A and B are shown apart, each in its own frame.
Chain A
Amino acid sequence: MPVNYYIFLSLALFCIGIVGVLTRRNAIIIFMCIELMLNAVNLMLVAFSKMHHLKNAAINASAGSEGQVFVFFIMVVAAAEVSVGLAIIVMMYRNIHSVDINFLNRLKH
């Protein structure tokens, strides 16, 4: 399959993520949309990695492998972010018994 299909798919997923972050009001759902953005990036990286491998395999047998290594780093960092982010959401839930971000207006004067 041409790489364009993957690029369009992952761009579509990325845009769904952005729209979700900007329009939804539930902290957990916003968080899911952010994860969707990260996974769209992962998909695109793997597609590009394959593309570069096919293009340069004759010169360099390991061409394009960096892209796949990057995906692992994104997964690790995303996991670290989830652990901190969910802890923050739980902390807020304990105090106000809601995860709706419309409650977040105490700092606006």
Chain B
Amino acid sequence: MNALILLTILGVVMMFSGVVLKRNAAIRTLAVTGLLLAIIANVMDTYGIHFFNINIRGMMNFDRFALLFITIILSCTFIFFLLSAKDMEKVGINFADYFALIFFILCGIILTSSFSSLLILFLGIEIISIPLYILTGSDKRNLKSNEASLKYFLLGAFSTGLMLMGITMFYGYTGTFSVENLVIVEGMPSALLIAGIILLMFSMSFKVSAAPFHFWTPDVYDGAPTVFTSFMATIVKAAGFIAFIRLFYLSFDSLGDSWKLLIAIITALTLFIGNITAVFQQSVKRMLAYSSIAQAGFMMMAVLALNGPAMEGILLYIIAYNLSTIGLFAILIKMKDYTFEGFNGFAKRQPALARAAVIFLLSLAGIPLTAGFLGKFYMLKAVVQQGGYLWLVIMAVVMAAVSVYYYFRVIQAMYFKEGEAQSLEVSLFFKWTISIVAFLVILLGVYPQIIFKWYYF
């Protein structure tokens, strides 16, 4: 609750800071400091110090899992700000407004990660989506950005319609919007409820870009300004998954027979389409878009399993995926040429950045000793424990092997190909931050207990 109210105030403050503060550096400092305060407030919330006493009973429930996830997501945004906030200047002149919109998105993320009423889920998803439509189209003169924004808007609004229909059917059956303690009335035809669950599942799959509802993802991620693609592909996607898991964990777990097979099929399709299509991409940005679909396939396994290892694993997976992808995008933003050839000879020109990029790519591919490996391991473990979906586990392992190909193409271009590398303007601060992020990825791969200790203390 602390972080939610603080972030709302911060969003409004950032909106007006563009009028008062003339220098971009001052605006940036204000945003970073504000976010740091929000992280501290949220950690205090975890330890039982509440600044605000508002009765939200039946609407939201800030349990341990939700609070830990909020801390993780705010910290990832903090790292995103440190690495890429400077590059937002290049997008347009409304520098302060981008920060304001990002803070409002974070408010939406807090709502979706702590809802216990479908009303809050709906509001949270919308508060995430509407500022994102604006951020996607923020490069106003660029036709690609316009197109991405319109596509995202039309499909996003469509999936919201589906979600609302699902919520309505749920309400028609149960007579309440609360997702906790779902009571299944015996003897009544539950076709209404099953239809509602399936519509909710489809609309959430849209939001997390799981196949066959992924077709907007590559276009939108490719067209949006790269800084905001980085934000969308990591932090917003993670929030979508937490909402998905929370919804199905809280209320529909007992009805597992009716939806688990469908989720398994969606997962398999997502893994297959994401990985196979990523192999054929020529642009690293578009490859990362497909890679985000492929990683979504792995995260869908947590929705399928919904047991202990799945809940632990999704947190670890989200951290691993977010840190690696934010780091890779932060390097990509600095480049002018987004193709694989653009990375030729990169290691000679920028050895520090190349080293960090290798660690991020290894983590995404799931090589041991990185956080990405443990994330994938926990996902597979969760599905094996669930039982009955061994074919999915085998398929996931095969697809992880396929993913090594396209991640290693970047490493090969950086280290083993001769080429005229582009000159980048990189500050010493950027180099240090990205090295620390890379170190964190390795640290979590060796000592994942750091996260779990927070979860269970």
Interface residues of A (CB under 8 A from B): 7, 14, 17-18, 21, 27, 30-31, 34, 37-38, 40-41, 44-45, 48, 51-52, 55-56, 63-64, 66-67, 69-70, 73-74, 77, 80-81, 84-85, 88-89, 91-92, 95-96, 101, 103-104, 106-109
29 pairs from A and B in contact (CB 8 Å cutoff): A7-B172, A17-B161, A18-B161, A27-B150, A31-B154, A34-B158, A37-B164, A41-B161, A44-B168, A45-B171, A63-B175, A69-B119, A73-B122, A77-B122, A80-B126, A81-B130, A85-B157, A88-B137, A91-B137, A91-B140, A92-B146, A92-B147, A96-B143, A96-B146, A104-B151, A107-B147, A107-B222, A108-B219, A109-B286
Bits for B141-180, please: 1 = Cβ < 8 Å to A, else 0. Answer: 1011011111101100110110011011001100111000
The reply to whether the CB of B133 lies closer than 8 angstroms to some CB of chain A is yes
Residue contact A73 to B119, C-beta cutoff 8 Å: yes
A96 / chain B contacts, CB cutoff of 8 Å: 143, 146
B161 / chain A contacts, CB cutoff of 8 Å: 14, 17-18, 34, 37-38, 41
B194 / chain A contacts, CB cutoff of 8 Å: none
A73 / chain B contacts, CB cutoff of 8 Å: 119, 122-123
Give the docked Cα–Cα distance between A69 and B147 (Å): 35
How many residues on B have C-beta within 8 angstroms of the other chain's C-beta atoms?
Answer: 39
Give the docked Cα–Cα distance between A4 and B143 (Å): 47
- The residue of chain B having its C-beta at the shortest distance from the C-beta of A17 within the complex is B161
Give the docked Cα–Cα distance between A45 and B143 (Å): 39
Bits for B71-110, please: 1 = Cβ < 8 Å to A, else 0. Answer: 0000000000000000000000000000000000000000
Residue contact A85 to B119, C-beta cutoff 8 Å: no
Known: A74-B164, A77-B123. A95 touches B146 (CB 8 A): yes
A85 / chain B contacts, CB cutoff of 8 Å: 133, 153-154, 157
Bits for B402-430, please: 1 = Cβ < 8 Å to A, else 0. Answer: 00000000000000000000000000000
Residue contact A88 to B133, C-beta cutoff 8 Å: yes
The reply to whether the CB of B134 lies closer than 8 angstroms to some CB of chain A is yes
Give the docked Cα–Cα distance between A6 and B120 (Å): 26
B164 / chain A contacts, CB cutoff of 8 Å: 37-38, 41, 74
With most chain A CB atoms within 10 A of its CB, the pick from B147, B164, B282 is B164
B119 / chain A contacts, CB cutoff of 8 Å: 66, 69-70, 73
The reply to whether the CB of B223 lies closer than 8 angstroms to some CB of chain A is yes
Give min CB distance, B176 to chain A, whole Å: 7
With most chain A CB atoms within 10 A of its CB, the pick from B149, B161, B175 is B161
Give the docked Cα–Cα distance between A96 and B160 (Å): 28
Contact for A44 among B149, B172, B219, B282, CB less than 8 A = B172
- The residue of chain A having its C-beta at the shortest distance from the C-beta of B220 within the complex is A107
Residue contact A37 to B165, C-beta cutoff 8 Å: yes
Residue contact B141 to A88, C-beta cutoff 8 Å: no
B144 / chain A contacts, CB cutoff of 8 Å: 106-107
Give the docked Cα–Cα distance between A85 and B177 (Å): 28
A27 / chain B contacts, CB cutoff of 8 Å: 150, 154
Give min CB distance, A76 to chain B, whole Å: 9
Q: Which of B250-294 contact A (CB under 8 A)?
A: 282, 286
Give min CB distance, B104 to chain A, whole Å: 11
Contact for B219 among A77, A95, A107, CB less than 8 A = A107
Give min CB distance, B115 to chain A, whole Å: 13
Give min CB distance, A97 to chain B, whole Å: 12
A66 / chain B contacts, CB cutoff of 8 Å: 119, 171, 176-177
Residue contact B158 to A64, C-beta cutoff 8 Å: no
